[in-house]
């Protein structure tokens, strides 16, 4: 059966991965990820797909699943934990869950709270990464003690401030 491994990468890039996960990446028939993530594996021998439009990428993965033999291994590279405001949710909604395996890494939120030495189980987490910031105002009005915001190139910390 074709398998899709969704690999979370930490701030240290490929060095942050276990040997087992690095081996999966090396064996991948198709390696999917951003240019930055694919750049961590310049010697990868299989096909590569730069992750731009998620809909197009999922359609290509679906075609790979439909026409694949049992030895096809697809690896999707993402940042941090793919199931924490990540691509994992979309993949689970669009592809057979039985084909998906997740290899999470530390999320940016976990890392940030760890660095400032603050427990975060009671934090309100909002993603403005590729989304609107409309959830931020109600959270601020509620007087939440801890708010963490995932940002992107458009919704930067400066834009939010």
DSSP state of 76: E
Same domain flag for 90 and 156: no
β partners of residue 32: 49, 76
Cα angle: 36, vertex 59, 54; to 5 degrees: 40
Same-domain check for residues 88 and 115: no
- Looking at the DSSP bridge assignments, the partners of residue 149 are 126
pLDDT digits (tens, 9 = 90+) for 101-126: 999 999 999 999 999 999 999 999 99
Say whether both 70 and 134 belong to one domain: no
Instruction: Provide the whole-model pTM.
Output: 0.86
- Give mean pLDDT, residues 69-92: 90
What is the structure's pLDDT at 100? 96
98 and 115 belong to one structural domain: no
> What's the total number of domains in the chain?
2
**Domain interval for residue 141:** 109-160
Treating both helix axes as pointing N-terminal to C-terminal, what angle do 54-67 and 87-94 enclose, rounded to 10 degrees?
50
For residues 75 and 88, what is the distance between their CA atoms, to the nearest angstrom? 12
Question: Are 97 and 119 part of one and the same domain?
Answer: no
DSSP 109: H
pLDDT higher than threshold 90 for residue 130 = no
pLDDT at residue 117 in the model: 98
């Amino acid at each position: 059966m074709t398998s899709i491994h969704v690999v979370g990468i930490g701030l240290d890039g490929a060095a942050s991965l276990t040997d087992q996960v690095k081996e999966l990446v090396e064996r991948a028939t198709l390696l999917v990820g951003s240019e930055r993530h694919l750049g961590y594996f310049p010697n990868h021998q299989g096909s590569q797909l730069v992750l731009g439009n998620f809909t197009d990428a999922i359609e290509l993965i679906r075609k790979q699943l439909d026409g694949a033999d049992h030895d096809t291994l697809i690896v999707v590279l993402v940042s941090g934990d793919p199931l924490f405001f990540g691509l994992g949710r979309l993949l689970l909604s669009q592809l057979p869950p039985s084909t998906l395996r997740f290899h999470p890494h530390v999320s940016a939120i976990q890392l940030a709270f760890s660095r400032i030495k603050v427990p975060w189980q009671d934090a309100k987490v909002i993603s403005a990464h590729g989304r609107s910031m409309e959830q931020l105002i109600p959270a601020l009005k509620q007087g939440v003690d801890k708010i963490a915001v995932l940002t992107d190139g458009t919704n930067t910390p400066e834009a939010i401030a």
